[in-house]
Amino acid sequence: MPELPEVETVRRQLEPEVVGATITSLTVSDPRWSTPLAPEELGDVVVGRRVLALRRRGKYLDWVLEGEVHLLMHLRMTGTLLLDPGEDYAHTRVELTLDESRRLLFVDPRRFGTGQLVVGDRELDSFYATRLGVEPFDESFTPALLRALARGRRGPIKSFLLDQRQIAGIGNIYADEALFRTGVHPLRPAGALRPTDYARLRDAIREVLSAGIDAQGASIDDFRHLDGARGSFQDRFLVHRREGEPCVVCGTTIRKLVVGGRGTYVCERCQPAPRRRRSVAA
């Protein structure tokens, strides 16, 4: 599933191609994509508008159009954007034309991707406020903030990291990689880390997301660049999807657990499991 680095990769590739262009047609062949708007309702608003900017917030791609119109695309599990493809693709749910000459396809076999319309910059702030927490590269994302967000939370730190309302943009890959680099077991209660762990975790989150962006994302399933090419961060995973392989630090065999329903990879020597609660305090 595309996470912050994958969406940022697409944004950086797409930005120079689309900013300044006008959306000249929008064909939504799967009405689920634009729900609650019907495809024609969405088209009525966006067609004819110029693209002023292409932004990212969390895993959302924000097409900033004239008149404070925002078309928010979310790739969810299997969404891919392809620009000027030489052929047609199965599972194309949306086709957008820019300046009557360039084609952009939203291809999405599992059909969870979305295109939502938000009109008004203030409305955009409200839209994000109920869905997304702090942006990992924002200067407000300090170790103290991370610790404050986690305070009192007994659920696993891994699940906390995946909660978009806490920190925006982290998914299964980057959560595993950040926890490994921090030496924190994914099942540790989020609110019970040592103060120094929050500082190291904050740094590790930024480090793995930056590395993911530098590698132009990870292509473990459907994620592709605008031209169909694959990212390369999957070749640099230290724990994710490495079950049965030796830990790069200590040689211990990487294990796969399930945390909050998600496959989770851990070196239980580098990331000691939380101690079981004792019924009698020592």
Residue 247 binds Zn ion, judged by CB under 5 A: yes
CB proximity list for 103: less than 8 A, separation 6 or greater: 83, 84, 85, 95, 96, 97
34: nearest Cα among 22, 46, 48, 23? 46
Residue 269 binds Zn ion, judged by CB under 5 A: yes
CB proximity list for 125: less than 8 A, separation 6 or greater: none
| Residue positions counted in the chain | 282
Between residue 87 and residue 116, which ones bind Zn ion under the rule CB under 5 A? none
Distance CA 32, CA 38 (A): 9
Residue nearest to Zn ion (CB): 247
41 is catalytic: no
Name the minimum Å distance from CB 211 to Zn ion. Answer: 19
Q: What angle do CA 111, 72, 212 make, to 5 degrees?
A: 80
158 is catalytic: no
Catalytic residue among 5, 56, 57, 59: 59
Residue 270 binds Zn ion, judged by CB under 5 A: yes
- Judged by CB under 5 A, the stretch of 55-63, 102-110, 127-135, 270-278 that binds Zn ion is 270-278
Catalytic residue among 55, 76, 236, 262: 262
256 is catalytic: no
Name the minimum Å distance from CB 3 to Zn ion. Answer: 24
Helices 172-182 and 195-214 pack at an angle, to 10 degrees, of: 130
Catalytic (active-site) positions: 2-3, 59, 262
Which residues sit at the interface with Zn ion, rule CB under 5 A?
247, 249-250, 252, 267, 269-270
